[in-house]
Amino acid sequence: MSHSMTARAPIPCCLSRPAVVCPLGDTPAAIEAALFQGQRGLVDDDALIDARTLPVGRVATPLPDDSAWPAQHRSRNNRLLAAALTQLAPTLEAFRQCHPDARIGVVIGTSTSGIGETERHLGHYRQTGQWPEAFHYQRQEIGASARFIAERLGLDGPAYTLSTACTSSARALTSARRLLASGRCDAVIAGGADSLCRLTVNGFAALGALSDAPCEPFSVNRRGINIGEAAALFLVTRETGGIQLSGYGETSDAHHISAPKPDGAGAQAAMEMALEMASLTPGEVDYINLHGTATRLNDSMEALAVAKVFGEASACRSIPACSSTKALTGHTLGACGALEAAFCWLAMQTERLPPQVNDGHIDPQLAPLRYATADTRQTCRRAISNAFAFGGNNISLLLERAS
């Protein structure tokens, strides 16, 4: 890979302070405290799957009341987004004073939308043969999330939702960057949300991918994932300074409907593309937020891909510090790309790194990585956040703190 021939992006792509609602909390102070101390935000749940109790990453903080909203917008997914929007409001309102609403876009990633509400209404339908009055099909449409935000805020710019499973909200950020580069928008509200529901939990159970205990990414004892929920939003603008999305890479393995390609070629290529777009060498990256689902196949593939890209970074520099924050939040599916980009954003602002939380028994069969600990203190100027999804679609985001 050659970096010398690649020019810097023609426009800046600044990510505002993230607005986050997740199992670690809903304020910067609460989230940072849990994130950098490695505190798990998982709770036991026996309602999402029959005859089985599972640890899940459930948002416990109060969410906005949706009883007065239009029926098509009443869903837990949108309540998560509304809570995040409240945090984003001061930044957005200051921007709107100088820019027309037609120049502000909305791009959201999700995989569940309002399916949880439909699940509850199905019980009524099975008993009576009729849908309850509160049921509205539109709330479960994939496009509902972006439409909700645009209508709630009265924005007239492009508004659409992406659903590529666990890469959805990471792709929303790259789509926002392209909207800015095209000149179509001056700013984009970008990120994602997913809420806990029986459909996803039972689907992953059918694949044999769920762990009955808190997940253990990269441990020899890893047994699978925990499912979580979250919302994470950014206002993406052309402003200079701050935290920039300076590169990204998107690839597709086309290897298997649910399993990653074992050699990690697609993940490797995504990281290399992100580095090339940002005109950076591997040795200039300080931290990698790993996708790290704690499944046998993902962790093996990802460790191998990271070692291939960063193992020869420099004769005097080791592999960047790495960690998977899914041990803390669970796998938030369509929200994880934006959520974990937000964690990288916080790491670059605080110069603390999220530690790798597991049982301490790293799998010796994995390619060796340098895992961050709660005691890790270092300057973090540049970070990569990985997200990989069903169908072998991969994305790596490269965030950089401007000088």
Would you please indicate which residues are annotated as catalytic (active-site) residues? Answer: 166, 291, 331
Residues 6+ apart with CB under 8 A from 123: none
Token digits for 87?
């945090």
Residue whose token pair is 């926002």? 176
Residues 6+ apart with CB under 8 A from 205: 49, 52
Angstrom distance (rounded) from CA 142 to CA 159: 12
Residues 6+ apart with CB under 8 A from 294: 211, 215, 216, 217, 218, 219, 222, 223, 224, 225, 226, 324, 326, 327, 358
Which residue type, as a one-letter code, is found at position 207? L
Q: Determine the length of the chain.
A: 403
3-state secondary structure of 121: helix
Nearest to 2 by CA among 341, 254, 279: 279
CA distances 223 to 16, 151, 262, 296, Å, are 36, 42, 18, 7
Backbone angles phi, psi at 267, to 5 degrees: -65, -40
| DSSP codes of every residue in 262-321 | TT-HHHHHHHHHHHHHTT--GGG--EEE------HHHHHHHHHHHHHHHTTSBTTB-PPE
CA atoms within 13 A on the CB side of 203: 12
Angstrom distance (rounded) from CA 15 to CA 392: 27
